[in-house]
Amino acid sequence: MTGRISLGITRAIDRWLTPLAPTRLAALRVLICGSGTVLVVARTSYWLDLAELPDARWHPVGLFAAWDGAPSWSSIAGLAAVALVSGIAATAGWRYRWSGPVFAAALLVLTTFGNSWSQIFHTENLVVLHVAILAFSPAADAWSIDDHRQDRPTVPARPAHGWPIRLMGAVTAVTYLAAGLAKLRIGGLDWLSGDALANHVAFDNLTKILLGGAHSPVGGWLAARAWVFAPLAWASFLVELGAPVAVAFRRTRVWWVAAAWLFHVGVLALMAIFFPYQLLGVAFAPYFAIDEWAVEVRRRWSNAERTPAAATGPRAVR
């Protein structure tokens, strides 16, 4: 029995450290750091508005837990500028040894600041974690300004290009598992009856209506049809708690990603809560060879551009 466990652990470690091409990690750097940079652009005005609120509204979490007062408007503005510049640099792979960690740190501080004013945005957690993992990996070994500037030969596949990708995939699965365990901790198996989900959807939409926020007419309509929520509760339960098992096997991974994506479509439809990182597919990119997709798209685009020229060539000669 001990021998089988040791063999299983050895195989798991070997699989975790299997080398991957640097282009795959580079493609994730462009996609994920680019998404993080867009997040900074989209949220900066909101963060600056928060910085003008009175300290009585300040309820620090995470990095700010020990702070008595909120950071000043100027410090948040300066940090947002640092995040924007470093995010662009990290996406392009310029001086990535510095721009990657600086961007990861700035993004973590800014999102934590945003969550310290009585409302926690779970939609931002995963992108922050993925950027942090990329920050301490050789993600600029290909498709980067650093790669071209150093004029170095093509970097071969290494374990250092593989484990960050697998770690990002594991973190994605764990976030869903944590959400599922939270449901069990708070509601127990009664969650599967659908009553808790129905009450949550109804409360969320009613609160938004009363406060003048964007709400879901679909959620309000379904709230009167309680029988719908038991199947939805079961589906969410299976997607969240089954995430680690599903992503561990290549054959089930694609099906789980499709189910998780549909889960977020359902959240958007029922409660008007938009998870851009998940709905745009970026959260699930570590599970796929997106560099190969990018190369294939580029090849087809190049062929499409060359074909008209080849067709018009003989007519030009005549």
Tokens found for residue 295:
């190369």
- Packing angle of the helix pair 73-92, 96-114 (nearest 10 deg): 140
Residue showing tokens 């969240």 = 240
pLDDT at 115: 92
Contacts of 225-230 with CB under 8 Å at 24 or more apart are 226/194, 226/195, 226/198, 227/194, 228/194, 229/194, 229/195, 229/197, 229/198, 229/201, 230/192, 230/193, 230/194
**Residue of 296, 36, 32, 30 whose CA lies nearest to 140:** 30
The single-letter DSSP state of residue 219 is H
Average pLDDT over residues 155-162: 87
**Model confidence, pTM:** 0.88
| Mean pLDDT lowest among 143-152, 195-204, 303-312 | 303-312
| Mean pLDDT lowest among 148-157, 268-277, 305-314 | 305-314
pLDDT at 90: 97
Amino acid at 289: A
Q: Between the CA of residue 274 and those of 39, 208, 217, 263, what are the distances in Å?
A: 13, 14, 15, 11
Banded pLDDT at 314 (limits 50, 70, 90): very low
| Mean pLDDT lowest among 59-63, 112-116, 253-257 | 59-63
More confident residue, 33 or 184: 33
pLDDT for 102 beyond 90: yes
Q: How far apart are CA 237 and CA 247, in angstroms?
A: 16
pLDDT for 234 beyond 90: yes
Write down how long the chain is. 318
Amino acid at 25: L
Tokens found for residue 16:
């975790």
pLDDT digits (tens, 9 = 90+) for 37-72: 999 999 999 999 999 999 888 999 988 888 888 999
pLDDT digits (tens, 9 = 90+) for 201-228: 988 888 888 888 888 888 878 888 888 9
The single-letter DSSP state of residue 13 is H
pLDDT at 317: 33
pLDDT for 255 beyond 80: yes
Q: Domain-by-domain residue ranges, the chain? A: 21-161, 162-289
**Residue of 172, 159, 164, 165 whose CA lies nearest to 247:** 172
pLDDT for 112 beyond 70: yes
